[in-house]
């Protein structure tokens, strides 16, 4: 049995972080990491590439270790393929594309993206359904050229039949409208529990988005406070130079401490960004991924309903033809059987989605409690350390000040 890799791998920049559960190396494992971002190309064409290191003893995977180079659009490809194939599963979310050119290559952004991509791949590799995907294997194993070819055939329209094309368009349309309207189309499952879940998901997104917004602002506040403390320290030092004597020295000390604390604040800002704000953002993305799955389920349901309708009408037609002893009967019967098979398939697909979603929601909630718990811990720890540092720094000034007034 493949062991489950859990949350700790989220920040697994070192591929060795996760060791196999059982001491025996015969136990199957699959560990992945994303690291070493590097800038490739020039000008407008420039992009960042990442090293993806896979360690596995599974037969489908090459050797104990395989390293490939991937870029952001490759990850997008993987996500889209999984979304197509594994309807009902909450596909792990990807970090957003950056629209601001300047920001695209900032160290901060790159590191945040790398971390998020690492989390993404690890979640896939630890999901009992997704990890078995061929697309994952392709992603983790093939060379860059093959990957590029696969990526450019993303839509794969050349492989599909025209009828499927229409369906795809319809699906895209309905997906868009679902997302835009944020709600289901008139055809609904009349499943009160599911309705409740949908409501929950939509409202949850709003609440989370707000929390994330404030978390981001808090990061900014730390930076601003650090900056103004630094400026204040400099001004106070100058003032101290004017005063001279013990008071002047005290002023200088104050300035020096301010500078130290300013640095602490900047560091805490970064720490907050990576370990608190980013997990919240990730949570929001995850909820959006669920919304996409909800849309898929609605499509599947609609499809199943439509087919059921079509089958009914076909049956009526068929019976009519039977009565009329028409030659078309045989064909009609054939078509009827086909439709019934399609219908069964659609129903099967839909029911599978339902089953998967039920499992997924439990997994999701548990995962999120864990993820948030870690994030909260980091947040509290960071704030406690910062405040303590501030208190100690200022404390050290007091004896000097006492001597001033004597």
Residues lying near another protein in the complex (CB under 8 A) are found at 6-8, 196-197, 199-200, 203-204, 207-208, 210-211, 213-215, 217-218, 220-222, 224-225, 227-229, 231-232, 234-236, 238-239, 241-243, 247, 250-251, 254, 362, 365-366, 368-370, 372-374, 376-377, 379-381, 383-385, 387-388, 390-391, 394-395, 397-398, 401-402, 404-405
Q: How far is the CB of 269 from another protein (least distance, A)?
A: 11
Shorter beta-carbon distance to another protein: residue 217 or 328: 217
Q: Helix or strand or coil: residue 47? A: strand
Closest approach of Cβ 231 to another protein, in Å? 5
Q: Residue 26 Cβ, how far from another protein at the closest point, in Å? A: 22
Cα 252 from chain centroid?
Answer: 48
In 117-137, which positions are buried (b, 16+ CB within 10 angstroms) versus exposed (e)? bbbbbbbbbbbeebbebebbb
Sheet holding 47-56, edge to edge: 30-40, 47-56, 65-71
CB of 290 to another protein, least distance (A): 14
CB atoms within 10 A of CB 9: 20
Q: In angstroms, what is the minimal distance from the CB of 261 to another protein?
A: 9
CB 178 within 8 A of CB 298: yes
Buried b (16+ CB within 10 A) or exposed e, 206-245: eebeeebeebbebbeebbebbeebbeebeebbeebeeeee
Contacts of 185 (CB under 8 A, 6+ apart): 174, 177, 178, 298, 302
Q: Which is closer to another protein, CB of 40 or CB of 404?
A: 404
Q: Which is nearer to another protein, 147 or 236 (by Cβ)?
A: 236
- Nearer to another protein among residue 315 and residue 359 (C-beta): 359
In order of 8, 45, 133, 357, the CA distances from 85 in angstroms are 27, 31, 9, 14
DSSP 273: I
Closest approach of Cβ 262 to another protein, in Å? 11
Q: Which is nearer to another protein, 76 or 397 (CB)?
A: 397
Q: Closest separation between CB of residue 201 and another protein, Å?
A: 10
Q: Report the residue number, 151 or 234, with the smaller CB distance to another protein.
A: 234
| Least distance (Å) between residue 365 CB and another protein | 5
Measured from the CB atom, the residue of 58 and 225 that comes closer to another protein is: 225
Looking at beta carbons only, is 103 or 376 nearer to another protein? 376
CB-based burial, 46-77: b 16+ in 10 Å, e otherwise: eebbbbbbbbbeeeebeeeebebebbbebbeb
Judged on CB neighbours under 10 Å (0-12, 13-18, 19+), 143 is exposed
Cβ neighbourhood burial of 249 (10 Å; 0-12, 13-18, 19+): middle
Cβ at position 121, least distance to another protein in Å: 18
Q: 37-40 long-range CB contacts below 8 Å, 24 or more apart?
A: 37/110, 37/111, 37/113, 37/114, 39/105, 40/71
CA diameter of the chain? 118
Write down the least CB distance from residue 189 to another protein, Å.
17
CB nearer to another protein: give 187 or 387: 387
Give whichever of 341 and 362 is closer to another protein, judged by the CB atom. 362
Half-sphere exposure (Cβ direction) of 396: Cα atoms closer than 13 Å: 13
């Amino acid at each position: 049995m493949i062991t489950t890799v859990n949350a700790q791998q989220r920040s697994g920049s070192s591929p060795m972080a996760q060791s196999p559960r059982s001491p025996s190396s015969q136990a199957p494992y699959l560990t992945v990491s994303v690291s070493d971002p590097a800038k490739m190309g020039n000008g407008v064409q420039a992009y960042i590439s990442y090293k993806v290191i896979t360690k596995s003893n599974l037969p489908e995977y090459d050797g104990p270790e395989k390293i490939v180079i991937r870029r952001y659009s490759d990850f997008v490809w993987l996500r889209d393929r999984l979304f197509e194939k594994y309807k009902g599963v909450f596909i792990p979310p990807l970090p957003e594309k950056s629209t601001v050119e300047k920001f695209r290559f900032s160290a901060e952004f790159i590191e945040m993206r790398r971390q998020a991509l690492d989390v993404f791949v690890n979640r896939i590799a630890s999901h009992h359904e997704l990890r078995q995907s061929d697309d994952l294997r392709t992603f983790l194993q093939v060379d860059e050229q093959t990957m590029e070819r696969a990526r450019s055939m993303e839509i794969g329209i050349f492989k599909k039949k025209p009828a499927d094309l229409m369906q795809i368009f319809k699906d895209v349309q309905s997906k868009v409208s679902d997302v835009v309207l944020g709600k289901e189309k008139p055809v609904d499952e009349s499943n009160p529990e599911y309705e409740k879940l949908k409501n929950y998901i939509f409202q949850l997104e709003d609440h989370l988005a707000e929390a994330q917004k404030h978390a981001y602002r808090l990061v900014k506040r730390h930076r601003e406070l650090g900056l103004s403390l630094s400026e204040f320290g400099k001004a106070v030092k100058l003032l101290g130079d004017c005063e001279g004597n013990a008071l002047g020295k005290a002023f200088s000390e104050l300035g020096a401490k301010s500078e130290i604390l300013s640095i602490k604040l900047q560091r805490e800002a970064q720490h907050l960004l990576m370990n608190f704000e980013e997990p919240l953002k990730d949570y929001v993305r995850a909820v959006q991924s669920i919304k996409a799955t909800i849309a898929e389920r609605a499509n599947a349901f609609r499809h199943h309903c439509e087919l059921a309708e079509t089958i009914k009408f076909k049956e009526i037609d068929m019976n009519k033809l039977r009565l009329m002893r028409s030659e078309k009967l045989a064909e009609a019967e054939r078509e009827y059987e086909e439709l019934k098979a399609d219908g069964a398939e659609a129903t099967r697909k839909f029911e599978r989605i339902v089953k998967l979603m039920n499992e997924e929601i439990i997994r999701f909630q548990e995962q999120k409690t864990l993820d948030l718990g870690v994030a909260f811990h980091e947040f509290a720890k960071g704030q406690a350390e910062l405040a303590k540092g501030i208190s100690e720094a200022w404390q050290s000034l007091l004896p000097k000040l006492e001597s001033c007034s004597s």
